[in-house]
Structure 1
């Protein structure tokens, strides 16, 4: 049977929608393919934030987040073209995972459309297409419309209007339609096959950039500097290109080398750790080799927003203050250094992250800023330091600055080269304290090679094989001297 006879017979049985028989005969087999696609291609179903029934976000330390977006979707039996609007503009589409409750849905294809609708993009996508240019006569107010072809937008718009080329638009450019490859919001279009029709609940999970978090701590020293009150905050920054409304927020503390398969699973399956003594705005649990913090209430993270949520609050945490000098004499073990310049002590404040200290919550890395009230009760900033991820029962040690009133000067009192590899030297360190109360000064020296203390005015402590530690009491508004001698073999 000829093609013409076949088509005539087919047209008598079932007309082909939107395509005349004459067009089929004129265009041939290509038209048949187009007609079949017109019949079978599903209309796009837009799934917007208005259809969202829940969203959960897990944010990691390294510009990485896991989004679990739950929305109601209308399904038809067979092919569905689902457009999830307002997904993250920085999503990694290769990580997208769609799960639908109550229906068997097979994803055949997905397209992430992040080319957003702007005047510049509209012109760019209209190259080679017809537009209208409307000019206004400002004297009369009359408008004139001309048809134009967009030739280029590289470095500026180039239009062909009639028999002339314009390198700048003489008026308003009017477009008949939005090009199909432009979207107003980031959109993931999923081509899926469903075994049944009806409303269903779908969860779209994916990894994305553009979401980050950091921990910040604010500490207030007591007047006697024996305790501090500390509040922990989580600073969230959303530059992902969409808003997450009433989200369940979870944060992972720990440096992830790469995304582990475990992290794509439901985070709630991890085993919870005992509740710490500090008042918590977030609960904490272990996750793989990391710690997972869950905000105990939903929160909205708006697009292009930085916000802070409470992490913890602890009062009357016992602290120790330390005045320390490090390596005042370390340069002089193999040669004569004579007398050194006077230097100021470094001030440290330390506490233990345990239940006894009213803490006991694994602390994410961040910046601790310390304040203290002056004699008039006005709060003053006294220093800040960064802490690393700190497990429970570990020490936290903050470097706050240099002590104005506690100083030291080192002097080498003996130097002798015993052989090519053996040296003996002695030192005297003068410590001064201009404060109205006595202080304990810590001296740290890193001694190279194989060493032996020959004499010392205070007993040393071996921190490790090459580090020695001494404590020296210095009276109020007074001074003290410390001396030691050492033999070093290289």
Structure 2
């Protein structure tokens, strides 16, 4: 009788597949835990009814998304049934299937046990040898467990199975496509600010996190950036982050970008292998230099005495950019006098079209302090109130600065008195630009009333 030997250290069993030749694989990865797999397969399909299997599909495949067809003469090949089998062989499955059947156990000391398997609870096997009931613990250095055969229905890898009716030629070139979760990508940017704090060297990388349960060998790789609507099905796996020192790696432009529907597509200009349980990092575009502006922002009602430090740049061709920037984290560094690069903050950018501004919040200023005090409140009528605010900015730096003071106003408001000019940003927000000399304090006062 043919026997299958199960080794606890390593168990490898490769199932048979009827004449499959995987000719071409294309993988499209989305930001939001989604991949689309397109494959061309060479299959030998007998005339009449037959069962065809394709293994090594993603274990997180959405079976309802599978599409299969013959490229030539599709009308002569009918799909009668389509099944996704995922009852994978394992220690537990084999032992559970062999309850009340004969097995043989061999330990590393050479001792053998043979008999009917009564039960298995994850740590102990109960064997009926015919004369005694033996309890065998897995701590007894079991080397092999021998099974007469592989139980029907168990498979070694996730498998798509079709029942087909072929009324044409035997050799077929077929298309297979499906969607899978467990794979996503995101952009990561590494920025280096120069000593003058007026220039920024920006590099972009993409990280592809594949936990879909399949490896995509020598695949055409496409990345979709944009907010594609997906009905949620569960939690997304966490991904790792690219190291901050990777801006040192010089890379040619690898991706070709284009508009695709209402999104943007980035196609890698070479084949790539995306392995299961791997995070692959690729250069999105070579480093480029752009001009930046440092902006101090004070919103006392929201952040107390903290002055927020931002850098802003225009994503335009004249500024060295002018390309669609996919959403991702931007890590910012500045070079010290000794040549080392020191981390000074990070922020998240959303999908940003060309010719739009990008503003990054890096942290709070150490040497600039804000203070906001309500100086007056007056009820003018039953439907009208007047407020007066005093805002102080103290600059302990050895250079002159400008601080953008943000104030949020409500109702039908009117500013009646002010010490500095303001810009109305929207119906509820105004901004004052307040110059502050080094080691000095500047005071902004304004009065406004609102009615309802």
TM category, shorter = 0.7 to 0.9
Considering only CA atoms, is the larger Rg found in Structure 1 or Structure 2? 1
Given candidates 46, 51, 61, the residue that maps to 1:91 is 61
The aligned residue for residue 291 of structure 1 is 264
Q: How does 1:35-50 map to 2 (within 5 A)?
A: 45-46=17-18
Further displaced range: 371-380 or 147-156: 147-156
Given candidates 168, 180, 183, the residue that maps to 2:136 is 168
Q: Are 1:44 and 1:80, in contact at CA under 8 Å, matched by a contact in 2?
A: no
Secondary structure of 1:120's match? helix
The aligned residue for residue 129 of structure 1 is 101
The aligned residue for residue 212 of structure 1 is 184
Distance verdict in 2 for CA 1:202–1:151, change over 3 Å = same
Q: Deviations over 1:99-127 (max 9, x none)?
A: 22345322222222222222222212223
Alpha-carbon deviation of 1:388? 1.5
Q: Are 1:44 and 1:82, in contact at CA under 8 Å, matched by a contact in 2?
A: no
The aligned residue for residue 221 of structure 1 is 193
Higher helix share: 1
Q: Are 1:252 and 1:293, in contact at CA under 8 Å, matched by a contact in 2?
A: yes
Q: Are 2:329 and 2:349, in contact at CA under 8 Å, matched by a contact in 1?
A: yes
The aligned residue for residue 409 of structure 2 is 447
Q: Are 1:117 and 1:183, in contact at CA under 8 Å, matched by a contact in 2?
A: yes
Alpha-carbon deviation of 1:94? 2.1
Aligned residues: 413
Alpha-carbon deviation of 1:89? 0.9
The aligned residue for residue 69 of structure 1 is 39
The aligned residue for residue 79 of structure 1 is 49
Further displaced range: 307-316 or 406-415: 406-415
Q: Deviations over 1:1-49 (max 9, x none)?
A: xxxxxxxxxxxxxxxxxxxxxxxxxxxxxxxxxxxxxxxxxx974356x
Given candidates 60, 76, 84, the residue that maps to 1:112 is 84
The aligned residue for residue 298 of structure 2 is 325
**Separation (CA, whole Å) in 1 of partners of 2:264 and 2:216:** 23
1:146 pairs with 2:114: yes
**Separation (CA, whole Å) in 2 of partners of 1:487 and 1:209:** 54
Q: Are 1:123 and 1:153, in contact at CA under 8 Å, matched by a contact in 2?
A: no
* Aligned-CA RMSD value: 2.6
Distance verdict in 2 for CA 1:475–1:163, change over 3 Å = same
The aligned residue for residue 210 of structure 2 is 238
Higher strand share: 2
Q: Are 1:109 and 1:191, in contact at CA under 8 Å, matched by a contact in 2?
A: yes
**Separation (CA, whole Å) in 1 of partners of 2:305 and 2:90:** 60
Q: Are 1:353 and 1:361, in contact at CA under 8 Å, matched by a contact in 2?
A: yes
**Separation (CA, whole Å) in 1 of partners of 2:105 and 2:220:** 49
**Separation (CA, whole Å) in 2 of partners of 1:359 and 1:435:** 32
The aligned residue for residue 200 of structure 1 is 172
Q: Are 2:100 and 2:116, in contact at CA under 8 Å, matched by a contact in 1?
A: no
**Separation (CA, whole Å) in 2 of partners of 1:46 and 1:150:** 37
Secondary structure of 2:64's match? helix
Q: Which segments of structure 1 move beyond 6 Å, counting only runs of 4 or more?
A: none
**Separation (CA, whole Å) in 2 of partners of 1:401 and 1:466:** 25
**Separation (CA, whole Å) in 2 of partners of 1:236 and 1:193:** 39
The aligned residue for residue 362 of structure 1 is 324
The aligned residue for residue 184 of structure 1 is 156
Distance verdict in 2 for CA 1:237–1:46, change over 3 Å = farther
Q: Deviations over 1:140-181 (max 9, x none)?
A: x5x555232444557754433315444436865310111231
Structure 1: 5+ residue stretches without partners: 1-42, 260-277, 331-340
TM-score by length of structure 2 reads 0.84
**Separation (CA, whole Å) in 2 of partners of 1:100 and 1:129:** 44
The aligned residue for residue 337 of structure 1 is none
Q: Are 2:300 and 2:371, in contact at CA under 8 Å, matched by a contact in 1?
A: no
Secondary structure of 1:296's match? strand
Structure 2: 5+ residue stretches without partners: 1-14, 232-250
